[in-house]
Structure 1
């Protein structure tokens, strides 16, 4: 990538606008582009790539720059991660900057402390070191510094995966079957898939392969009643509806009207008739209580730190803190406890996060089970084997970008005793 002078100047302004990170980086970037309507599609792509590249490598870049100004971060990024040489930068830099860039060109990442190489803040490093070796931390950090691939889910109500793969490849879109999800497709590059007729007709949806695996852990049947407890924009609920062949009934609950509104056009495209979105006030809403003990399958993808999604959301490293993790843990325990009340005897609950931390994952489940004798833990590897999915991470599902090329997902499957 070689930015033009205009793109360089706009990227500098974008970095200055976004780096305080008072909101999620993608939200701030969308607002920046709204405030700069003259930026064309190519300009936006280049600027977005630069901004997220700097966020992925910010710790190392700040080590290289005495003054961590947006301009210095941008120049260091172009030299160290985009491979631009000083001759290519002559139109952008002055003499003192040229000397500094020549100096930092010789600085290697391997010479830095582990936290800088992995691009993790110290508080996060300390948490990881409790259960990972230094080599594992470095491998995880390097994986999380790479942009995530674009994964699709085939809507099996309307199409088959082989058919979609053929159609995509006929359009010269490099597409391959995902290794674990039987209905997933991974694309090379980032084509504008949201404008493709396959997307507009509801035959494909954008969904990380790890997220798709959660649907297979829940494994809803056609005639069942299912709840997606923290549905968000409904990606998992849509998948569950397709797995149920649009039969039975799915409730998609969320506290955010805005997120559920984002589900409406997706639901219309999907062809599903069994999915019912409802806004709730909290996990103890009257709508929830009316369903206590009546639901066959409950998916609880709780609000979490999101630290398993750093490939997509590198800004979370600075926006999360040890204090925010503590607050999330209490919320996660409360939501799990409330959602468990929905499950009928013999029913299944899947608890999931996109966090890497045991305190949001295993520890929440162990604490819940120690105080709730109505539930037993199921073996996730066995459940996936029943679905003919060759993925064994033990009793719990633990997906890692370093090992599985997905986001960092955790899931536990619980069954209410009959």
Structure 2
């Protein structure tokens, strides 16, 4: 089934059905859409692309659209998005409109013309999040951050250096007619100009490339493991950063990939095999206090702690997160983050490094957690971001890395990545060195 008209009624109905579940914000939007598309196997590839783009457009601009439409009904929001976000006229939409909808759209266009938009409405953020970002970064910087978060994320890949060079991968994509660019800061990153069915591509099937945002690649680069060292990926999840560490260590030394969700680690085994990574030992743990971790106490050269977080830095690709998180969930996460960081610190040997990472831009999850930890653990001290990134050069322009904005009373040594500054997801990372026993 290939529905050629851009806003064909069946396309519109497909998006409305998907949004009806997604806009409850009870489940991740990407999982809702994946399940929905599996239930529509006859939908053509172009139709699927249109449905996905439109679906995320509505979720990304949800608050602005609810104000514009004076409604939260999925069909109303979709029609509002076609008019506001896609520039479609009411006359063009006439063939798919119900009798009252044309008049309703015309009335809303007239009514909204004189509306005084608040920044949080115009840039589609919940009030609590807008207020926290303004407190941390100021109004103008928050406007830039929020604007960048409304843009769709690009498709970033990481070249597995155990198997190939980036130049060879670039040449393969170009020969296939795909527009590919080197990522600005990561030496292993490739950015594709269009979405492709990557899982069917030989480069992916052979473990030569993995999907990974450039920001994720960069914060893993900060671990800077050396060959034959002992490294712990304390919250490994599905193992994206673990695979980077294995490549950096050229399969030498030992990496322990730990996680409290065994199902995630189970998915790591086939990824390791596909990537040719042989120095990784997955370790399922009950929680950060699991007795199995005792045998690693004081023995690790590097401990990466990519803690569970709000994901506010990834709103370009996960726009539903801003509606699924609340002040209460962030408070619960910060307590968990503090506990995990303190537990992971016990594994670091003297002279070793503890790397704390989140994909959040909220000081509560970043600076405050680190400041509390340092006050209770005087043996650890942060290493300056400019020393850690001294060899980071923009691949195209050859300019040195510039850090993102630091919030009021933030940790000055931390590396901060932002979409509007670096073109990648938002990340916070700080490297803490253990100076004494």
Q: What residue in structure 2 maps to residue 369 of structure 1?
A: 374
Q: Which residue number corresponds to residue 19 of structure 2?
A: 15
Q: Does 1:397 align with 2:401?
A: no
Shift of residue 207, structure 1, vs aligned partner: 0.6
Determine if the alignment matches structure 1 residue 269 to structure 2 residue 274: yes
- Which residue matches 1:358? 363
Distance 1:264 1:40 in 2: 33
Tell me the equivalent position of 1:59: 63
Secondary structure of residue in 2 paired with 1:87: helix
Q: TM-score normalised to the size of structure 1?
A: 0.96
Shift, 1:102, TM fit? 3.1
Q: Residue 54 of structure 2 corresponds to which residue in structure 1?
A: 50
3-state DSSP of counterpart to 2:390: helix
Deviations 1:282-319, CA, capped at 9 Å, x for gaps: 00112211100000001000000100000111111111
| TM-superposed deviation, 1:105 | 4.4
For the residues of structure 2 that align with 1:387 and 1:45, how far apart are their CA atoms?
Answer: 35
Which of 71, 75, 79 is the equivalent residue of 1:75? 79
Label 1:373 to 1:77 Cα distance change in 2 as closer, same or farther (>3 A): same
1:407 corresponds to 2:417? no
State the match for 2:104 in structure 1: 100
Task: Give the conservation status (yes or no) of the 8 Å contact 2:180–2:191.
Answer: yes
RMSD between superposed Cα atoms in Å:
1.8
Deviation at 1:95, TM superposition (A): 4.3
Q: Which structure 2 residues correspond to residues 282-321 of structure 1 after superposition, within 5 A? A: 282-321=287-326
Instruction: Indicate the residue corresponding to 2:397 in structure 1.
Output: none
* Structure 1 counterpart of 2:351: 346
CA distance in 1: counterparts of 2:115 and 2:146, whole angstroms: 13
Mean alpha-carbon deviation: is it higher for 304-313 or for 93-102? 93-102
Deviations 1:326-365 (CA, angstroms, capped at 9, x unpaired): 1001100000000000000100111000111111101111
Cα distance in 2 for residues equivalent to 1:43 and 1:185: 27
Alignment of 1:209-220 (within 5 A): 209-220=214-225
Distance 2:88 2:152 in 1: 20
2:406 maps to none
Cα distance, 1:131–1:67 mapped onto 2, change above 3 Å:
closer
Of 18, 43, 48, the residue aligned with 1:39 is 43
Structure 2 runs not aligned, ≥5 long: 395-399, 404-411
Q: In the TM superposition, what whole-angstrom CA distance separates every residue of 1:268-288 from its partner, at most 9, and x where no partner exists? A: 111111011121100011221
| Residues matched between the structures, number | 418
